[in-house]
Amino acid sequence: MSLENRLWGAPRIHGELLKLGYDICETTIAKYMVRQPRPAPQTWRTFIQNHMTEIAAIDFFTVHTAAFRTFYVFVILSLDRRRIVHFNVTTNPTAEWTSLQLVQAFPFDSAPRYLIRDRDGSTGTRSSTR
């Protein structure tokens, strides 16, 4: 029964067998049911390969000058060609400044579907809205 009705679980098969007059425990049915092989879950590497053209990565790195000043360089990389899409330098990175850089880097409808970023505060807080 489990081979012919792949969507049926042990409770459904138990109920059908009871209608036919067979009184078998539901755990026995579950024990002898044919298990369906499940597809392997998508790995991170597979996800990257499948969506390479839709992914950009952002990050900051610091540059220290001879005058002991620190500059923060914001970089946006496109993963499909491993090229720099946009970069800018500031002395005080904020979430507002970072979001402005993203708007300037991807005008109109050219924004990537996925954005890889750190969890630091300069890239803003994670939003749950889509």
Do 117 and 56 share a structural domain?
A: yes
Q: What is the pLDDT of residue 108?
A: 84
Please state the domain count of the chain.
2
Do 83 and 22 share a structural domain?
A: no
Residue 55, domain member (yes or no):
yes
For residue 73, is pLDDT > 70?
A: yes
CA end-to-end span of the chain: 43
- Spatial distance between the Cα atoms of 26 and 6, rounded to a whole number of angstroms: 17
Residue 98, domain member (yes or no):
yes
Do 61 and 27 share a structural domain?
A: no
Reported as a single tens digit per residue, the pLDDT across 80-94 is 888 999 999 999 999
- For the range 72-77, what are the long-range contacts, defined as Cβ-Cβ under 8 Å and sequence gap of 24 or more? 72/122, 74/98, 74/101, 76/101, 76/102, 76/105
